[in-house]
A and B are shown apart, each in its own frame.
Chain A
Amino acid sequence: MKIIVCIKQVPDTADIRWTENNTMVREGVESIINPFDEYAIETALRIKDENPETTITVLTMGPPQAEEILKRAIAMGCDEGILVTDRKFAGADTQATSRTLATTIKEKAGDFDLIICGQFAIDGDTAQTGPSIAQHLDLPQVTYAKEALLIHQNKILVTKETEYGTEKIKMQLPGLICTIKCDYNPRKSTIVGSMKAQDTIIPHYSMEDVGLSPDSVGIKGSPTYVSKAFRPAQREAGEKIEGTADEIAVLLADSLKDLGVLK
């Protein structure tokens, strides 16, 4: 069993500050593994726990320093990492990003059975890269997955959460799943894992290494572009309601009635 987990380095939301020109203040912002990708890693590790012959490759596209999150994933228990990095990738939308990742998988990752991605990245929040990778590689997919169990050499049973309920879906492998928050927590790195991560050499591949052309990556390869960015009007604090619990209950009930929700 070979699993590829696609992860993304994102700024920790709690640290984000903006300049007047709507660019992010980079100083003092910690880089983390996108939280949904941690569930993707954990889901892969759980399959490996049950099927010890499994190998897990973590893949990311990003600047050279994104190597660091690959090392963190190896410290958690993944086996190897691949970084695809090139200045020409800058400004990529989800179509260019998924093409770059899919091509890297095809060219550099060898045969695989399963690809796992986080459902969303907390910075972009598009939820598009995973399904687009599946499309580029002509794979079946299950999105909004909260659990995955290998039930056969080439079948996986995925629990999916929708607006309406919970589905169990059997998917043929090779295939791709996107994880939401799971009922289990991502594991911490171990000392042995951290030592292994230190010793692991992570290959860096450029656009040319994976055989892509400048027209198909970065801004040039992106059908969408940002025409403007702006900060939404910030909400302002409204009135404070004070009084005894009884008084507050009456005031609240009045407000709810005025708002038309008390029929």
Chain B
Amino acid sequence: MAKGICIFAELTPEKTLAGVTLELINKARELSQKLNGEEVSALLITGETDLNHIFDELSKAGADHIWLVQDPKLVQYSTDLYAKAACDVVAQKDPSIMLIGATTMGRDLAPRISSKLDTGLTADCTEIDINEKGQLASTRPTFGGDLMATILCKKFPQMASVRPKVMPKPAMNIDKKADVENIQIDFSNTPVRTELIEFVKNIQSDTARIEESEVIVAGGKGLRNAQNFKMLEELATLLGGSLGASRCAVDAGWCEHSVQVGQTGKTVTPKIYIACGISGAIQHLAGMNSSDIIIAINKDPKAPIFSVASYGIVGDVFEIVPKLIDELKNRKGL
């Protein structure tokens, strides 16, 4: 009988735990209470050897066990090897629930595991719970957030990938060491068919990655050219946030696609989203309308962005943003 909750522990390129992993362990603790205290295990697949700080963080977040697959072959993420390791461990340990962060790595790996184990996987959930029958109930947005669906799974493990930053982070105050179990995986029959030959890190001077930002200052068609994005970058930096852009601005070549927000770009959920010169096409709204606070600055009072804005300012971005930058600098004593 399948039992327990397994969390895939993702490591970033800097070999630190991805934020979503801790969010998931925290959530799993809550689910565990509704499952008569079933245990929470973190599946850590890695080539690293210095792992004490990782074990420590997983423990403090609330993991009961760490299932460790450690092999020099696993230093770089490889779909072939990681899927093999995860499938073998899950088949052996038989958890009833498996949760993975809906990151590029998680969304690459999770469907390989679910298809191999012939079970169900719900993608990019924003809410997970245990229903009255003890099943995992995963809720996710579809149609760009227009419709929410709660999805159940008939097989085990019940799998879900979960969107980063929608669930609270743990207090990191659990004073119990998770036990670490080394699991050997035989990779001799697993061909590695991809090879990472180059990695160019995003250059993001002072600003954080858009997915992790608490504040996003985004610009659209109203910014008119690439040069004008400099002032948005300055504003973002003053607020400790990062730059975003609408599809128009990216298609015009003013910004990189990596900062595009919306249906064909990123879905973001910052505390504050400042939309400058963005009209707010439905495709853009789909990527940002879960932000806590939306501030919109646009010349056109009829722009759809105002229908979702917590604070709507009908005005000229080129007048207001520079004044705001000055005001913020003054207050900061800069």
Contacts and interface: CB of A to CB of B under 8 A. Distances in A.
Given A140-B80, A223-B120, A249-B324, A165 B312 contact: no
B111 A132 contact: yes
Contact of B257 (A181, A235, A252): A181
Contacts of A256: 239, 272, 328
A123 B142 contact: yes
Given A126-B123, A222-B120, A131 B108 contact: yes
A125 B103 CA distance: 14
Given A170-B194, A252-B295, A253-B328, 7 more contacts: A14-B282, A14-B283, A227-B150, A228-B150, A230-B150, A252-B327, A259-B293
Interface of A: 13-14, 16, 18, 22, 35-36, 93-95, 98, 122-132, 134-136, 140-144, 146, 157, 160-172, 175, 180-181, 183, 222-232, 235, 237-242, 245-246, 248-250, 252-253, 255-257, 259, 261-263
Contact of B143 (A16, A93, A261): A16
Contacts of A125: 123-124, 141-144
B198 A168 contact: yes
Contact of B319 (A140, A162, A245): A245
A136 B115 contact: yes
Contacts of A13: 143-144, 146, 263, 282-283, 286
B111 A131 contact: yes
Contacts of A261: 214-215, 239-241, 271-272
A22 B316 CA distance: 39
A137 B114 CA distance: 14
A141 B77 CA distance: 12
B112 A127 contact: no
Interface stretch (B37-45, B66-74, B88-96, B302-310): B302-310
B115 A169 contact: no
B311 to A, nearest CB: 6
**Closest 10 interchain pairs by CB?**
A223-B120, A140-B193, A224-B120, A249-B323, A126-B123, A135-B115, A131-B111, A238-B310, A168-B198, A245-B319
A125 to B, nearest CB: 6
A246 B324 CA distance: 8
A252 B272 CA distance: 12
Interface of B: 12-13, 79-80, 83, 103-105, 107-108, 110-112, 114-116, 118-124, 131, 137, 141-155, 193-202, 209, 211, 214-215, 239-241, 257-258, 260, 263-265, 271-272, 281-283, 286, 289, 293-295, 306-316, 319-320, 323-324, 326-328, 331-332
Contacts of B257: 146, 161, 180-181, 183
A103 to B, nearest CB: 13
21 contacts: A95-B114, A98-B111, A126-B123, A126-B124, A127-B124, A144-B108, A162-B104, A165-B201, A170-B194, A175-B194, A181-B260, A181-B265, A223-B120, A225-B154, A227-B137, A229-B150, A235-B294, A238-B312, A239-B312, A245-B315, A248-B323
B199 A165 contact: yes
Given A228-B149, A257-B331, A169 B144 contact: no
A128 B110 contact: yes
Nearest to B108: A143
Nearest to B144: A13
B308 A122 contact: no
B271 A259 contact: yes
A174 to B, nearest CB: 9
B123 A225 contact: no
Given A13-B283, A123-B142, A249-B320, A238 B311 contact: yes
A232 B320 contact: no
Contacts of A122: 143-144, 263
A97 B32 CA distance: 32
A167 B196 contact: yes
